Amino acid sequence: MLTDMSLPWWAWAAMGAGLIVFAVMIGMTIKRNRGMHRSLFASPYTLWMIIFTVVPVILISYYAFTDANGNFTLDNFKNFWDSHYEANKVIKAEAERLGVDYSQYITRGTVNVDTLVYSLWMAFQCTIICLVMGYPAALFMADRKMKLGSTLVVLFIIPMWMNFLLRTVAWMTLLEDSGLINQVLELLGLGKIQLMYTSNTVLLGMVYNFLPFMVFPIYTVLNKMDYRLSEAAADLGCNSFQTLYKVTMPLSIPGVVSGITMVFMPSVTTFFIPRVLGGGYTMMFGDLIESKFLTEGNWNAGSALSLLMMLLILVSLSILRKADPNGEGGGLA
């Protein structure tokens, strides 16, 4: 457990040197260009990224590869693979001191790995459901013949104006035992059913919150697509289904990949949705990381888990980069 959160002198020196180098580079750029260049207007954003992105990553890396005393170690990553690693070390040391066989007491804990696998499975289900629901919605919204397309865009955006936490808590009023759905079921004489605190409820909350992140990238690509391509396909004898399969879907791949990335990664790392809708009965990787930092106070183990999650994000971004090198699928235009 982390007892001393102070950083070594070289960490402070490295961060100070980085800020000095940043200031010197700005001064040299101004001198070289004989005045302010337009690129310098990005300097505040660059400084923001250094302070709130680069520096935190450096700190997380430092804690992940050190122990509570600041010494280099890989035990934090071993703890991920074997959640009983620390306990097994104590058992082994004590057994060797007493000269007894300790092999029967050594067991590998799989809590961390199982939590990651469960999180990946839940995120995979959420992504597939969002894709199945989101692609037709984006296709309908981007159809120039549909007059309700712009209205649907607004309807998708309006819920996002509300705070993420409030949107999630609002589901409790619908799904709890005395919620609206159970009240309606009782009026119909069907009786109450258990809706809260299940994996399906968590999945429902994830789909509800992350569906717009699937719809908007696909909608952006479809909206930019030249409609004359569809007309050309129809002139060549393609029906509506063939046009969709051979023209529209291949051209929308960048938006699909971007949507998958924007849904999958937040789904893996989410921790508030399982806590509220799962009632603590389901734990995802985000909950595990949060518990390491806030509940156990073990910043070293939490940082190691965070680095592993960063690796998953980097893999996801590399896939996006290959499928969408020009960034055509990102955001809502």
**Rounded to whole angstroms, how far apart are CA atoms 124 and 112?**
18
Mind listing the pLDDT tens digit for each residue in 8-56?
A: 666 677 767 767 776 777 677 666 666 555 666 666 777 777 778 888 8
Confidence of residue 210 (pLDDT cuts 50, 70, 90): very high
pTM above 0.85, yes or no: no
The structure tokens 């990787």 sit at 285
Mind listing the pLDDT tens digit for each residue in 115-155?
A: 889 999 999 999 999 999 999 988 888 877 766 667 777 88
**Rounded to whole angstroms, how far apart are CA atoms 271 and 288?**
8
Q: How far is CA 57 from the centre of its chain?
A: 16
E strand or H helix at 27, and its extent? helix 9-32
Mind listing the pLDDT tens digit for each residue in 276-314?
A: 888 777 788 888 888 888 888 888 888 999 998 888 878
> Do the beta carbons of residue 226 and residue 142 sit within 8 Å?
no
Q: Assess if CATH 3.40.50.970 describes domain 119-323.
A: no
pLDDT above 50 (res 262):
yes
Residue 243, token pair as written in the block: 């046009």
Domain boundaries, the chain: 1-72, 74-109, 119-323
Query: In the chain, count of helices (H) and strands (E)?
Result: 17, 0
Residue 266, token pair as written in the block: 């937040």
Residue 307, token pair as written in the block: 């680095």
Ramachandran class of 61: left when φ > 0, alpha when ψ lies in -120 to 50, beta otherwise: alpha
pLDDT number for residue 324: 60
